[in-house]
A and B are shown apart, each in its own frame.
Chain A
Amino acid sequence: MELSFYLVQLLNAIQYGFLLFLVASGLTLLFGIMGIINLAHGSFYMLGSYLAYWLTGVTGSLWLGILLGLPIALAVGYLVERFAISFLFKLDHLYQVLLTFALILVFNELQQILWGTDVHSVPIPAILSGSFQLTENQSYPVYRLFISAACIALAGAMYWVIQKTRLGMTIRAGASNREMVQALGINVNRLFAFVFSMGVGLAAFAGMLAAPIDSVYPGMGDNVLIISFVVVVIGGTGSIKGAFVGAMLIGLVSTFGKVLLPEMASVVVYALMAIILLWRPQGLFGKVA
């Protein structure tokens, strides 16, 4: 294989990494900062995809679909936090696992009732539907580049909000000492409801953006859930930077694993996770507990 082949694979790897970060960013926000193990993350991703499918069908435009879908996803996140998650902050992680697992079942059933069992897809917006030639017989869709760009913007925005703004400061403070922040006069409950719905919004947003290059089908969320957890665990819980690096690493290892060790393709990612956890149990950018 010539050099251009590996360059194209590198592009594939980076692109896949971006997509993974997009999906895992919401999870790292909830898992890392709020300490919530949200097994329903994949369901929120699926919700986003189905909202994009539904609203794009109604409005005829993916952009309008995202614009209308995001508030719905945020509202769903807020309600789930208020009526379910908020009761579990003081309890063991096991209860969160049980609750969010139940949410997976509820969302799968709801999806079936609302949208049926067909496989759907969302058309790529006309303005981004082009592609450019990479090698003599392979081209690359512009929309995939757009996703990468959106992902970089999102990563930057998240980093800025969490590290540089007052809101981010209170979030970080609330995560490390809930009672103290409350004593200082900040409504932690409201803050956490906000953060949770942001996490749900991020998952749904990833589902919306990915919908045109993925297919929209029942159970699609289950496929992204595990790999998202791998990204978060490798990066270190609570670190946006870690999730970004983790996603890129997984993108590279998984893509080149497929190319160089095809018979091991589905294992290499987990092998990487095992090695990293042996070396740094807290993850690449995690703080020692």
Chain B
Amino acid sequence: MSENNKGISRRDFVIKGTVATAGLAAASVFVPATFAIGAQAKVKVGILLPYTGTYAKLGTNIRNAMMLRFSEAGNKLGGRAIEFVDIDSEAKPAKAQQLTEKLIKKEHVDFLVGPVHSVVGMAMVKMARGDGPITVIPNAGANQLTGVLCAPNVFRTSFSSYQMGFPGGSAMLEDGHKRVVLMYWNYGFGKQVAAAFKKSFLPGGGTIVEEIPTPFPKVDFQAYLTKLAALKPDAVYTFYAGGGAVKYVKDFAAAGLKKSIKLYGAGFLTEGLGAAQGNAAEGVRTILHYADSLDNPANIHFRSAFKAATGVQADVYAVQGYDAGELILRGMNAVQGDTGARAEMIRAMETSVIDSPRGKLSFSASHNPIHDIYLREVIKGENRVIRVAAKEQDDPATGCTMT
């Protein structure tokens, strides 16, 4: 530093100083009165997503889509530059608390984005709710996150497990399937999906022949499929994701069950897995708040922009990340970057109506998404929309005190 100073003439110094002062003065015109931190402070966005393990692709797509949304907005949030603190959650519940603590207490992030895994989400939200950073959940679907654990500073842009089950029950009844077996990974999310499914399916006149929970995250389905075959239901409703979903769909087809039992599931069963499942997935029906083929302008723009930015095709996880970015933008733009104006920012976020690639996205009183749920069928390797299974599907937010 001192060496540089020697080189600068007095005249230079005066000119530069004047320019700098003028710049500051000019900047201050745009700075609102509530702006307390100073024009140069960056907004800190903490990201806790899995980049390794089974959920690696989900985490990567969510992050890349959110970054895409920010870069479309000039990499500024309410006029302030962004600093990212990006941590690999590894989708390990055991590490969740420590990593969240690092983001909140050590890094002092203004926003917290994550995670994918529901159990990681529980640990994260327990720490962040209340005084913590504004938190946006771009995937984890446990009902509790916007139920008993709901808080003014916690938002979700993905779904609740309720929204992955309830519309499934009515959709299957509408398709004429009355005798149904439920099969799902036996952990929190799977159980919640099954419970929500029954809430619409049983009152509608359907019969659950049997529930077959299978150990999570095991993928040996053979014994269960033999049982399923022996039960001879009309159809089966499932929750499996990722590698498990590929294996399930392939095993189901290989066991010759497609001829006599119709396969349904929460959208993850076939989402983004077309190449790996191939022919085995043809005819499988799923419900989800998104489909690649939605032809609204927002989706067409998003899919081409995401492909151009990352080289890979967008999927529902990318959409959720993109909308998380949008939601943060809405909040920060509403307060011109003043993170101190917390109540105002939260109000702007919760009243947002987003023109999302999935269609219209708004938020419930508990900050869970309200969106259309589509019934899709795999036709020629693509998840095509058959019909809207539930218009503006809400979530009951059981246990939430904000509603």
Contact = CB atoms under 8 A, between A and B. Distances in A.
B246 A223 contact: no
Interface string B229-246: 110100000000011111
A187 interface: no
Contact of B276 (A120, A138, A223, A255): A120
Contacts of A216: 243, 276
B256 interface: yes
A230 B218 CA distance: 15
A119 B223 contact: no
Given A108-B52, A121-B276, A266-B215, A137 B223 contact: no
Given A214-B219, A219-B54, A223-B217, A137 B261 contact: yes
B54 A138 contact: no
A217 B242 contact: yes
Contacts of B257: 137-138
B273 interface: yes
Nearest to B246: A215
A160 interface: no
Interface residues of B, number: 44
In terms of DSSP, what is the predominant structure of the interface of chain B?
helix
A16 interface: yes
A165 interface: no
Given A123-B278, A138-B256, A139-B255, A8 B273 contact: no
Contact of B227 (A133, A259, A266): A259
A217 B226 contact: no
B247 A214 contact: yes
23 contacts: A1-B230, A12-B222, A16-B220, A16-B222, A108-B52, A109-B52, A117-B51, A119-B57, A120-B276, A121-B278, A137-B232, A137-B257, A138-B229, A213-B254, A215-B243, A215-B244, A215-B247, A217-B242, A219-B56, A258-B214, A258-B227, A262-B213, A266-B218
Interface of A: 1-2, 5, 8-9, 12-13, 15-16, 108-109, 112, 116-121, 123, 131, 133, 135, 137-141, 213-220, 222-223, 254-256, 258-259, 262-263, 265-266
The 10 closest A-B pairs by CB, nearest first: A139-B256, A217-B243, A215-B246, A117-B56, A266-B215, A117-B57, A138-B229, A219-B53, A121-B276, A137-B260
